[in-house]
Amino acid sequence: MKISIFGTGYVGLVTGACFANLGHEVVCYDIDKQKIKELQEGHVPFFEPDLEKMVKDSLKSGRISFIDDCSAGVGKADVIFIAVGTPSKKNGEVDLSYVENAASNIGRNLKKYALVVNKSTVPVGTAQLVKNIIKNYYKGEFDVASNPEFLREGDALLDFMKPERIVIGTETTKAEKMLRGLYSSFDCPLVSVKIETAEIIKYASNAYLATKISFINEIANICEKVGADVEDVSYAMGLDSRIGNKFLKAGIGYGGSCFPKDVRGLKNIALKNDYEFHLLKSVIKVNHRQKMFVIEKARKLIGKLEGKKICIWGLAFKPNTDDFRESLAIDIIKFLQKEGVIVNAYDPITDYEKIRKTASFGKEVKFFDDPCKALKGCDGLIVVTEWDEFRKIDLRKMKELLRKPNVIDGRNIYNPEMMAKFGFNYMSVGR
């Protein structure tokens, strides 16, 4: 099929590259001319394992192209995916301005029947909104569908090529048949539902996973008070097939571009429909409070924080990505700055200049190209992101470099007995 994709962020670019890899003819459009230029040269503007190679291979084969003129990507397309950003507004409502702009451009340039598919995570009713916008410009036949993505950053190619399920929401037989054909080579359940159902499935999934994280963090906080070990608790819970072991890892909370936004989004969808989602309000509250416990632990170990130097390991919201959107590290660093702390920070791949500019960090935050250099002379270490290289650090060397052997392990990557053996003042989560 001929596929056009609006947006070349994580979702759009992964979707385009994977469909091209499967033999479809793909055109990716973005308003960012510099990004398009980089993509035309085979350079992916963010880190996702193996994505750049897939893009280069598809460029070489001629199955994918990148344009900044949407008219060239709409006229010949059979399927048009909208994969633009849907950020949160200050009140938690989803900002649909990018979706609306994409719909307007599609309507202006549509020449024949096409299936327009919302791939972005959008509130219930967005498909109808897109349909109405396109109708303002195009009077011919077209369909709008919903096909939510379930891509984990760091594992996005695997998630796309070997999905656990594919959800399609349609309102016509023609649209359903086209999407079934597009995904016919995938070996997984294809869930075909009405559009409104498809639109809420992604929100429900992410909100439930966020709820599991907040739940196990609450259990971890109780474990600390009663002398139990949350690692053993979560392991035993996970053996129950009704519960499962995924997303039962205690830590300092969830972050990233999806969970916080989608939890707020679903809470707002409920409010707009005269329903107060009490559980999600608590999930959000627990997640915010979990970050603050890191500062409390720092005060317990280090004492007065003003004038102290603390090392932060990990700036991305999770391993195997350079994405720091709504990263817990940013909030923790800002909390420390308010306390008058000098921060040394290290992350394996995050763009330091970009994060300094985006997060408005001052000069008191110093970035390092080596985790050990960042440790030197610090009064304590806070592990925020569980990169594998942090697990492999020589503990003797770690202790020698720190001015004071204080370690707050926000991801429980170290063994408490081993840390005690090496003489660290060590605090983790729920142990």
pLDDT tens-digit map of 392-413: 999 999 999 999 999 999 999 9
> Average pLDDT of 345-358?
92
Q: Of the residues 193, 218, 235, which one is the last residue of a structural domain? A: 193
With a CB cutoff of 8 Å and minimum separation 6, the contacts of 327 are 255, 256, 315, 316, 317, 384, 385
Query: Do 276 and 385 share a domain, yes or no?
Result: yes
Taking 80 as the threshold, does the pLDDT of residue 362 lie above it?
no
pLDDT interval class at 379 (50, 70, 90): very high
Would you state the pLDDT for residue 178?
A: 97
Query: Do 240 and 148 share a domain, yes or no?
Result: no
Q: Are 105 and 139 in contact (CB under 8 A)?
A: no
Residue 142: left if φ>0, alpha if ψ -120 to 50, beta else—which one?
beta
pLDDT tens readout for residues 328-338: 999 999 999 99
Q: Which two tokens stand for residue 373?
A: 């250099």
Q: Give domain status of residue 75, yes or no.
A: yes
Of 292, 337, 289, 290, the C-alpha closest to 310 is 337
> Average pLDDT of 182-211?
97
Q: Of the residues 175, 193, 211, which one is the last residue of a structural domain? A: 193
Structural domain boundaries, residue 290: 226-427
Query: Do 120 and 235 share a domain, yes or no?
Result: no
Q: Are 295 and 253 in contact (CB under 8 A)?
A: no
Q: Give domain status of residue 238, yes or no.
A: yes
Q: Which two tokens stand for residue 232?
A: 């053993």
Residue entry with tokens 């992964």: 14
Query: Do 128 and 247 share a domain, yes or no?
Result: no
Burial 261-291 (b: 16+ CB within 10 A, else e): bbbbbbbbbbeeeeeebeebeebbebbeebb
Q: Are 290 and 253 in contact (CB under 8 A)?
A: yes
Q: Give domain status of residue 334, yes or no.
A: yes
Q: Give domain status of residue 120, yes or no.
A: yes
Query: Do 356 and 415 share a domain, yes or no?
Result: yes
pLDDT tens readout for residues 305-320: 999 999 999 999 999 9
Query: Do 164 and 236 share a domain, yes or no?
Result: no
Q: Which two tokens stand for residue 212?
A: 């599991």
At 70, which CATH number? 3.40.50.720
In this structure, the number of other CB atoms found within 10 A of the CB of residue 358 comes to 12
Looking at the DSSP assignment, which residues form a beta bridge with residue 26? 3, 64
What mean pLDDT value characterizes the chain?
95
| Spatial distance between the Cα atoms of 226 and 43, rounded to a whole number of angstroms | 52
Q: Give domain status of residue 255, yes or no.
A: yes
Q: Is 197 helix (H, G, I), strand (E, B) or coil?
A: helix
Query: Do 131 and 230 share a domain, yes or no?
Result: no
Query: Do 179 and 231 share a domain, yes or no?
Result: no
Q: Give domain status of residue 325, yes or no.
A: yes
Would you state the pLDDT for residue 97?
A: 96
> Average pLDDT of 347-376?
91
Of 82, 87, 131, the C-alpha closest to 102 is 82
Query: Do 141 and 254 share a domain, yes or no?
Result: no
> Average pLDDT of 145-167?
96
Q: Which two tokens stand for residue 405?
A: 């052997």
Q: Of the residues 173, 193, 213, which one is the last residue of a structural domain? A: 193
Q: Give domain status of residue 216, yes or no.
A: no
Query: Do 338 and 390 share a domain, yes or no?
Result: yes
Query: Do 174 and 297 share a domain, yes or no?
Result: no
pLDDT tens readout for residues 69-104: 988 889 899 999 999 999 988 888 899 999 999 999
Catalytic hit among 28, 258, 311, 378: 258
Would you state the pLDDT for residue 363?
A: 78
Q: How many residues does the chain have?
A: 431
Query: Do 180 and 236 share a domain, yes or no?
Result: no
| Spatial distance between the Cα atoms of 6 and 29, rounded to a whole number of angstroms | 5
Active site residue 258: yes
Counting the structural domains of the chain, the total is 2
- In this prediction the pTM is 0.92
Q: Give domain status of residue 206, yes or no.
A: no
> Average pLDDT of 5-25?
97
